[in-house]
Structure 1
Amino acid sequence: MVDGDPNLLRASKTLVTSDGYQVRTVVDGFDAPCSVAQEKPDLIVSDVMMPRMDGADLICALRGTPARTDIPVGILPAAAFPPGLHLHVFLTRLFSAAKLLEVLCEVQPP
């Protein structure tokens, strides 16, 4: 999970780990590609508006590396996201816990 809001990351991680998932969090889009290179995730859920590298640039950076093109990407925009991004999951910022877990289960069961 990648988000500039550490409070949202903490809450989301608690929710998801309590349902049996392993979660890595990154507070900055710029650091996310390095985290992905260390251990390939089953899914990336990212915010759009973040410091240093926004979600759209992060997705482009991940798609530019062949080993990362098959990782499903979900986005949590605070507002509308840039058009033309290929996303596997789209959640509004005010997503419910049940919706997040439903999306995770579709992509990768716990």
Structure 2
Amino acid sequence: MTRPIYEGAYAEVPPPGYHVISRLEKAGGEPLSVDVIKIPVLEPRDRVLECTYEILVDGLDDAEAVRLIVEVVLGELSDHYYRDQADTITLVNLRTSARRTIPYPP
């Protein structure tokens, strides 16, 4: 089984905008983009990167969502733009209120 391909993006509509992670799925000839995680808040405050997110699909748990946020949005999309502004990341699942704090990856 092949591993899904994910991509990150920033959507400006509706204001104030949000980050999103989409899964690319094969649909005939063209890949179909399916939004899987919405991130309405991603901003540094006092050396902590505040991140709120909402899982939009079934079958994705918190651990996988956090992994995708770190790899796809913080790594690939923003090229670790926040690394110099934060030592830790506080992640809050908006649906479950689950909260975790992790070190910002090196």
TM over 0.5: no
Structure that is richer in strand per residue: 2
Normalised TM-score (structure 1): 0.29
Normalised TM-score (structure 2): 0.29
